[in-house]
Copies of this chain bind each other. A is one copy, B any other.
Amino acid sequence: MNTPLYLPVSSRSMASKTQVGFIGLGNMGKPMAKNLLKHGYPVIATDIFPESCKELQELGAQIVDNPAEVADQADRVVTMLPSSPNVIEVYTGPNGILKKVKKGSLLIDSSTIDPAVSKEMAVAAEKMGAVFMDAPVSGGVGAASSGKLTFMVGGVEEEFTAAQELLTCMGANVVYCGAVGTGQAAKICNNMLLAIGMIGTSETMNLGIRLGLDPKLLAKILNMSSGRCWSSDTYNPVPGVMEGVPSGNNYQGGFGTQLMAKDLGLAQTTATNTKTPVPLGSLAHQIYRMMCARGYSGKDFSSVFQFLREDEENEGA
């Protein structure tokens, strides 16, 4: 890459802590932006809901009207948005980042979206002389608050160090995954396998209990055997088997069924687009979709155990 369209890293003022832009101050974005402030970065931020900006403003962040203005004043911008259309709007819309982005800017998108959209954004950014990287996170609101997120980063390898500098303020692990879009790919892959493991663990625990096994003992046996997975040994969906997980708290908190359904929808879309068979991932998607239709949207995704289990009122069924 002899004649990069974007300026080399050194041209950005990394040594001194200059302004960092932040767009999207929702449940995840707000604590992430706070952690940037905490690490001494001046933050310039915006959100479509003005009330979301208030707390950050009180903490010293500068609030502006729209993404274009953020990009006008900061040459490093982090975005944290709900879905692909929001990302497209924030980057390429009439008041989007790319309207006023400076040459050489580093644009890091931590939203979980279709990797194909990440690639489009990267191409559009490159045309403006800027660098786009996808850096979706794993870990929920708690990890965002405590700065313990994991970032999976896709983009040109030369810029990874620059991204890492910012991301380590907000996360405990920052993993380089490869070309643009591979951060999203890694996130989507992990969550698809997570969903499969969680439903599988729930079915298995339910079956074992019905066959007369004590749930704690069954979990112990699985966890020392080849059935072991994160959902069985770290986040067991059966109430009473483990402490400190949503199954012990009526499936409150944690990672909502609706969010899992969204991520599985992304997995499904990328699988369809790449003609990849994902039979269990696809069925997992459908099961979480059925759960949303039956009132489980807001419960932790481990509530699939409850969904599959016979209601007490239906015992005779």
Q: Mark A221-238, 1 if CB is under 8 A from B, else 0.
A: 110111111111011000
Number of this chain's copies in the assembly equals 4
Residue A152 at the chain B interface, CB threshold 8 Å: yes
Determine if A189 is an interface residue (Cβ-Cβ < 8 Å): yes
Contact B224 A178 (CB under 8 A): no
> Cβ of A226: which chain B residues have Cβ within 8 Å of it?
138, 190-191, 194, 197, 230-231, 234-235
Residues of B within 8 A of A203 (CB): 192, 196, 276-281
A285 within 8 A of B: yes
Nearest Cβ distance between residue A247 and chain B, in whole angstroms? Answer: 15
Q: What secondary structure prevails in chain A residues at the interface with B? A: helix
**Which chain B residues border A192 with CB–CB below 8 Å?**
200, 203-204, 207, 227
A138 touches B225 (CB 8 A): yes
Residues of B within 8 A of A188 (CB): 207, 211
A19 to B258, CA, bound (A): 52
Bound together, the chains give a CA A226 to CA B186 distance in angstroms of 12
B286 touches A210 (CB 8 A): no
The smallest C-beta distance from A244 to any residue of chain B, in angstroms, reads 15
Residues of chain B contacted by A265 (CB below 8 angstroms): 272, 275
Question: How far is A205 from B188 in the complex, measured between Cα atoms in Å?
Answer: 11
Give the distance in Å from the alpha carbon of A199 to the alpha carbon of B192 in the complex: 12
Contact of A196 among B115, B213, B280 (CB under 8 A): B280
| Sample (16) of A-B pairs whose CB atoms are under 8 Å apart | A173-B224, A178-B217, A181-B212, A189-B213, A190-B204, A190-B221, A192-B200, A196-B204, A200-B280, A203-B278, A203-B281, A207-B271, A210-B274, A275-B289, A280-B284, A293-B311
